[in-house]
Amino acid sequence: MIHSTQVVIIGAGPGGYTAAFLAADLGLTVTLIDESPRPGGVCLYRGCMPSKALLHAAKVLTDAREAARLGIDFGEPNVDLDRLRAWKDEVVARLTGGLRQLSQQRSVTFIQGMASFVDAHTVSVASGVTDGDAEHQQIKFDHAILATGSRPSHPAPLALDDARVLDSTGALDIQHVPTSLLVIGGGYIGLELGTVYAALGSEVTVVEMTANLLSGVDRDLVTVIARRLNRVMKAIHLETMVTGLTAAADGIAVAFEGPAITDQVQRFDAVLVAVGRVPNSNVPGLDRTKVELDSRGFVQVDPQRRTTEHSIFAIGDVAGEPMLAHKAFREARVAVETIAGRPAAFECKAIPAVVFTDPEVAWCGLTETAAAEAGRSVRVAKFPWGASGRAMTMDRPEGVTKLIFEPDTECLLGVGLVGTGAGELIAEGVVAVEMGATASDLKLSIHPHPTLSETIMEAAEVFFGQATHIHRPRKS
């Protein structure tokens, strides 16, 4: 079978379905291809949404346990794993079902199958199996958008074919709660999932090969979350490497190298490998086009997200870091608007990032760490949540709001937050950075009281040495 379409999109994750829906809204004929039965991609099926559902459950557990400080004693909560898993799966089903309905309403042709390139204007799709043979159809297109996403990295020393060795996908299935869990990797995936399992009752140990958790994030923000993680987890070992995994009858034997390691081999009931993700750029037949990859396997694109093959675009994780769904949302719009003949470019100043641990960490724009590495002079204004009335009433005073300014112009360059709900608060920072707000703009914008959002206003007041709820005179 052969049919034609103006735009074919390979991958129906956040970038892919956003591109498909916008292209259809602009009057283009669209074919969306994915191996899953519904749009959604890794984010909905095996990433963002199931993990946030479980993180919400973990926070409910934590809040229930800590309510005794307020004079409210629930006792030890009982966790029904089957019902928890069913609830998480229901959330995923509702979201993906909604996307399927939106796809149908827009007359987007959705094909479940695996796509491969025949040439720069043709893909072949294998879908369904009859007597062991897949059904093939060819699609002619004017433009293609690669939105194939990424997958968990599996370094050779950590590869072990054992059900007790999990990646993020397996950990989200949450079939049981191991008594002891080793998390390899102190990035956002490892810390988020480690938080879930610790709340559910696992003794969680985290190992990170670098000197810090959340590498690249400002240390003063990470310090706050590290302080809490050290209380809820059994151990956190930095500058520590796992050199091998071996299956044993009583668990997984793990070999370590690190300055704080006393037992070079330790056993765990389960191991979660969370050492990053790699792009899904190994699309069959891509070598039949002029598309080029960089040394890490990312598809090379220009500001319009066009590859070195003029008819093919790439968005989302496969097109480079940061590997974030909301980055893919924006890139999708840029690519489709370019295809539709509209002026567009991906030129964002502030792509927000959020680590959904408890407390959350969020940042956007220029970080203090990046400024120091670039030798750039900045002014930093910080407001501690211990001085926030709202944080105190929530019994969550640990937290910091941090603003990065250009010293001479007072222009806001970046925002960093750590504390409960930081992922929601960072949106104001994104708007402020993108709109070129100054310290005076933030100081003079009335924020509601008592809220956590007013810590942004008060941090701007710190810039001038005039914050109401802390005394921190401006340095001359």
Active site residues: 449
Q: Token digits for 466?
A: 């005039």
Cis check: omega of the bond before 450, within 30 degrees of 0: yes
The residue type of 291 is V
- From the CA atom positions of the chain, what is the Rg in Å? 24
**CA 344 to each of CA 37, 42, 316, 334: distance values in angstroms, whole numbers, following the listed order:** 32, 27, 16, 5
**CA 307 to each of CA 36, 128, 293, 304: distance values in angstroms, whole numbers, following the listed order:** 25, 30, 9, 9
Chain position carrying tokens 């735009």 = 7
Burial environment of residue 228 by CB neighbours within 10 A (0 to 12, 13 to 18, 19 or more): middle
3-state secondary structure of 135: strand
Q: Are 306 and 292 contacting, i.e. CB atoms less than 8 angstroms apart?
A: no
Q: Crossing angle, helix 81-105 and helix 48-66, to 10 degrees?
A: 140
**CA 131 to each of CA 1, 135, 367: distance values in angstroms, whole numbers, following the listed order:** 19, 10, 56
How is residue 404 annotated by DSSP? E
d(Cα 301, Cα 322) in Å, to the nearest integer? 14
384, HSE (Cβ side, Cα atoms, 13 Å) = 9
The strand ranges marked E within 217-261 are: 235-237, 241-248, 251-257
3-state secondary structure of 281: coil
